[in-house]
Structure 1
Amino acid sequence: MSAQTAGPETLGHLSDEPPQQPQDSTKAKSITGKSPMRIAMGRLARDKIALVCAFVVVIFVLVAVFAGAICSIFNVSTDTVLPSQYLDTLGGGLPLPEYGPPNGGFTIDHPFGIAPQSATDNLAYWVYGARTSLEISFTATLFASVFGIFLGLIAGFVGGVVDKSISFLVDLFLTIPFLLAGLVIAPIINQNFNASDNYPRIQFWALIVVLAGFGWMGVARLIRGEVLSLREREFVQAARVIGMPARRILLKELLPNLAAPIVVSISLMLPTFVAAEAGFAYLGIGVTSGISWGQTINKATPFFESYPLYLWEPVIGIVALVLALNLLGDAIRDALDPKTRR
C-alpha cells in the first residue's frame, strides 16, 4: 500500500517542476514586445565601436558649443597679437622657444603652440574651427535632409508626371559636382559682397547653400524608393479607403516608417559635409574670412617641414571627426537593418 502511494507522490513532485525551455525560445521571449527602434538601440548599446565613436562625436560637439568657455579656461583667444614679441623674425617667423613648439616644449599658456608669422594661438583657432565645421555641416545636413525628404515623399506618393519631373531634377543636380558649384559661386560672392560688413556671414550661408543645394539628391532618391514600396501596403490602402487626406497619410502613415533610412542618410551625410567644408576652405572658396580648419591647413602647408605640428592639429581633428561620424553611421545602419546579425 505504501509502495502504491509512493509512486503518485513521486510523480506529482516531478510534475510540479517547471519544464525547461530551450535557449532559443528564451531569447525570442526576451525581445517580445520590443519596437524595431528599441531593438536597434539595444544593438547600438552592445556595439563598442559605436559607443566610442558616439563619445568622440559628443566631445567634438561640446568643444564646438563651449569654445568660448574653453578659451577662457586656458586664457587664450583669437585676437591678433604683436608677432615680433613671440616669433623669431630671423628664423622664418617660427615661435620662440619659450612659447612652445617647434623650438620649445609645450607650455600651459599655449597648449597647442602658436602660429608662425601671425603668433595667434593654435588652440583658440582649433576650437573655433571645430565650431565652424560642425555648425556648417549640421545646418547643411538639416536643410538637405528636409528638402530631400519632402521631394522624395511627393515623388514616391504622387507618381506620374510629378515623379518624372522630380527624378529629372535629381538627375540634373547629380551631374553638377560640389567643387564646380563652389568654383562658380565663390567669385560671384567675392565680387558682390566683399565690401559688406557681414561678408563672413554671407560666406557662411553661401557655403551652406552650396552644400545643401547639391547634397539633397541622395536622400530624395532613397525616400522615393521607400515610399514606392510603402504606398502599396495595406495600411496605406486602408487609409485611402476611409478618406484620409494625402497630407495626413504622408505625415502620419508614411513618414514614421521612414525613420530608419532617414537616420542612416543623415548619419552618412554629416561626415561628407565636414570634409567638404574643410576642402572648400583650403581651396579658398569656402569660409575665407573667418576661422576654419581648412584655412589653418592652407596656412600651415608651407611650414610642414619646419613646424609639422601646426599642420597636424587641424588634420587630426578633421580625420577623427569624419572617421567617428562614418563609423557611427555604419553602426546605425547595421543596427536598423533587421537582416544583420552583428
Structure 2
Amino acid sequence: MTLPAGDLEVHGETVARPPEAERKAIAGRSPTRIALDRLRKDPIAVVCFLIVVLFAAIAVFGGLIQDLLGVSTETVRATDVIHPVTRLPLEGPPTGTFDPDHPFGVAPGNGTDNLAVWIEGCRTSLYLATVAAVLSTIIGVTLGLIAGFMGGIVDSIISFATDLFLTFPFLVMALAISPILNDRFGDDTDKLRFASFYSLVAILVVFGWMGVARLVRGEVLSLREREFVKAARVIGVPTHRILIREMLPNLIAPIVISFSLGLPAFVAAEAGLSFLGIGVFGRESWGQTINAATTWWEDYPLYLLEPVLGIAILVVALNLLGDALRDAFDPKTRR
C-alpha cells in the first residue's frame, strides 16, 4: 500500500507528517533545550522558580533590604516597646493594629524586630543549605563516578562505605557534637558562631552524599557500556578525561535534579536542629525563632507563624521545582 505524500506510518497507523518548519525546530533542539521549554510551559514550575528567586534575593541582599525598610536586629530597650507586665509589644500585633515601623511586629520579651530576624534567618538557612548541598553533591558525584566506572574492588569499597553511612542518622552525630562545641567555645561567641555553623555543614555533608553517589553510580554503570565510552577507552583516552569529558556531561540532568531535591531537605534539617537547640549559635535562625515562639503561641500566634510559613513556602517551592525538573529532563515523561 502506498501512503499519500507527506504521511508517515507509525506502529501500523498512518499519521500526517509535521510541517517542515516544525520538523526543523524539533530536530534542532538539544535535550536540555527541550527540558527548559517544558519548564517554561509549566506554570507550577515558573511560580516555584520565582518564589525561590525571591527568597534567594532576600538572602543575598538581606542587609540592603533591612536598611531600605528601616529594620535591624540590633538590641533595643525592651521598656520602650514591651509592656512591663505582659511582656507583649506595646504597638502592633497582637494587641494593636499594623505597625509600619515593624511590619512583622516585634518579639515579645526583648522587642527585637521580627522582620529583621526573619530576613537573617532566611540568609542563614539558605546559605547553610546551599553550601551543604553543593559539597555533598560534589562528593557524591565524585565517588559515584569512580565506583561506577572502575568497578571491582573499588566499587565494593565505595558501596560498602555508602551503606555504612546510611545506617547512622546524622541527628545522633549532631546531638553528640553540640555539647562538645558548647564546652569548647562557650566563652568565645565569635568562635562558637563559626564552629557551630560549619560543624553543622560538615554533619549535613557527611550524611548527605550517599543518595547522590548511588544515583550517579547507577547511571555510570549504564553509560560505561555505551559505544562512545568503549571507543574512548580503545583509543587510549585517560580515565579522568573519560569521566570528565564523556560521562559527566551526560549526568547533568540527574545531578541537577538531585541537588534541587536535596536543598529543601537541608533547609528543613537546619531549622529542625536549630529548633532542638543543636543547630547554629550566635546568628539568627528560623528554627531558633520557632523555639522561642512556642511559649507565646496562645498570646502571640503570629510570632510563631512567620518563620513556619517561611520554611513551608520555601521547602514546598523547592520540592515542586525539583519534581518539575525531574519530569522535564525525563524523556519518558509527556507534559
Report the TM-score when normalising by structure 1: 0.92
Post-superposition offset of 1:235: 0.3
Is the aligned partner of 1:37 residue 2:29?
A: no
Give me the whole-angstrom Cα distance separating, in 1, the residues matched to 2:51 and 2:146: 37
What one-letter code is carried by the residue in structure 1 that aligns with 2:82?
Answer: L
Match of 2:105 in 1: 113
Match of 1:137 in 2: 129
**Structure 2: segments with no counterpart, 5+ residues:** 9-14
Post-superposition offset of 1:23: 5.4
Match of 2:80 in 1: 85
Post-superposition offset of 1:164: 0.4
SS of the residue 1:88 aligns to: coil
Post-superposition offset of 1:144: 0.2
Match of 1:7 in 2: none
Q: Select which of 88, 94, 105 maps to 2:88.
A: 94
Match of 1:75 in 2: 70
Q: Select which of 281, 295, 312 maps to 2:305.
A: 312
Structure of higher CA gyration radius: 1
Alignment of 1:5-16 (within 5 A): none
What one-letter code is carried by the residue in structure 2 that aligns with 1:302?
Answer: T
Match of 1:182 in 2: 174
Post-superposition offset of 1:28: 4.6
Q: Select which of 257, 263, 279 maps to 2:272.
A: 279
Is the aligned partner of 1:192 residue 2:184?
A: yes
Match of 1:229 in 2: 222
Match of 1:147 in 2: 139
Q: Select which of 153, 163, 171 maps to 2:155.
A: 163
Pick which of 192-201 and 226-235 moved more. 192-201
Match of 2:61 in 1: 66
What one-letter code is carried by the residue in structure 2 that aligns with 1:94?
Answer: L
Checking the alignment, whether the CA contact within 8 Å between 2:141 and 2:213 is kept in structure 1 is yes
Post-superposition offset of 1:289: 2.2
**Structure 1: segments with no counterpart, 5+ residues:** 1-17
SS of the residue 2:27 aligns to: coil
Alignment of 1:189-228 (within 5 A): 189-196=181-188, 197-228=190-221
Calculate the aligned-residue CA RMSD, in Å: 1.4
Checking the alignment, whether the CA contact within 8 Å between 2:149 and 2:221 is kept in structure 1 is yes
Is the aligned partner of 1:49 residue 2:44?
A: yes
- What percent of counterpart residues are identical? 57
Checking the alignment, whether the CA contact within 8 Å between 1:288 and 1:295 is kept in structure 2 is no
